[in-house]
Amino acid sequence: MCDTCGCSTEGGAVLRKPGQSDYHVHVNEHEHAHGEHHSHEHGDHHHEGSGRKVVLEQDVLQKNNLLAERNRGYFEARKIFALNFLSSPGSGKTSLLEKIIPALQQCFPVAVIEGDQQTTNDADRIQALGVPVIQINTGSGCHLDALMVNRAMKELEMQNNSLLCIENVGNLVCPALFDLGEALKVVIISVTEGDDKPLKYPTMFHEADICILNKIDLLPYVEFDAAKCRENAMRVNHHLEWFELSAKTGEGLAALREWLEGKMAQH
């Protein structure tokens, strides 16, 4: 059974590097022993069938959250500014990174962690830019978690004072719940989707810090109301930093770049 989705028996995430087909590291998520039997000798005492209540009051995601905090501490110590990019598949996360990284690299080093169920296609595209990149293949998993990022960041050659872009698995639902240790969450929507997406998937927009509307070059050809979309996003989260751009034409990219440079300077 998969450790994430329950879809198959081969669920563990795997780290890969572009161009190194024999490089392959397994991320073991859950190490609990199934079917373990232990014998337990009892004395003469009996509890008359009634159990004992043990109070835990523990966050269900505690393990992930604690590990995410460790990642966050590592990033802080090395002054690495980590962004978690989230969206549905096909809204242009990788294209945006391809477009913006060459400009950002003029100012500071950039590294990328790519998350996908399969293939190193995205990591191959990023590697072509000449930045350190590692691919996490989640197998049947629907999101990245703090452990996968923890393993990946140890394999990635990151410089101090750099920007780390973590591209999550394309999915607007599950990744919202899993803290990776990032400084900020960036959610991307494109104009070929619906302008009510923030209302349909509120958890993600509620968790995000930045919202990017991509593919605005296609606005004349689609029924998408950018102002309405922004209003919907703000209804879910009035703290959202909002950007509209086209990763294809480069329109609107300067504003995001300047904002990121400002954040890096403060960081």
Partner 1 sequence: MHEMSIALSIVEAVEERARQEGAGWISEIELLVGKLAGIEPESLKFCFSAAAAGTLAARALLAIEEPEGVGECGECGMIFPVNFYYAECPACRSLRVKIISGEEFLIQSMTIEEEEE
The distance of closest approach from Cβ of residue 216 to partner 1 in the complex, given in angstroms and rounded to an integer, is: 23
**Distances 175 to 4, 104, 137 between C-alpha atoms, Å:** 12, 26, 15
Between residue 94 and residue 133, which ones bind partner 1 under the rule CB under 8 A?
none
177 in contact with partner 1 (CB under 8 A): yes
Q: Which is nearer to partner 1, 164 or 174 (CB)?
A: 174
Cβ atoms of residues 217 and 185 within 8 Å: no
Looking at 9, 20, 21, 35, which residue binds partner 1 (CB under 8 A)?
35
**Cβ 51 to partner 1, closest distance in Å?**
4
Q: How far apart are the C-alpha atoms of 17 and 89, rounded to whole Å?
A: 21
> From CA 169, how far away is CA 112, in angstroms rounded?
13
**Which residues does 102 contact at the CB level (< 8 Å), separation at least 6?**
129
Checking DSSP bridges between strand 20-27 and strand 13-17, what pairing results, if any?
antiparallel
> Segment contacting partner 1 (CB under 8 A): 18-26, 29-37, 90-98, 118-126?
29-37
Q: Which residues bind partner 1 (CB under 8 A)?
A: 1-6, 29-30, 32, 34-35, 39-40, 42, 47, 49, 51-64, 141-143, 145, 173-174, 176-178, 198-199, 202-203, 205-206, 232, 234-238
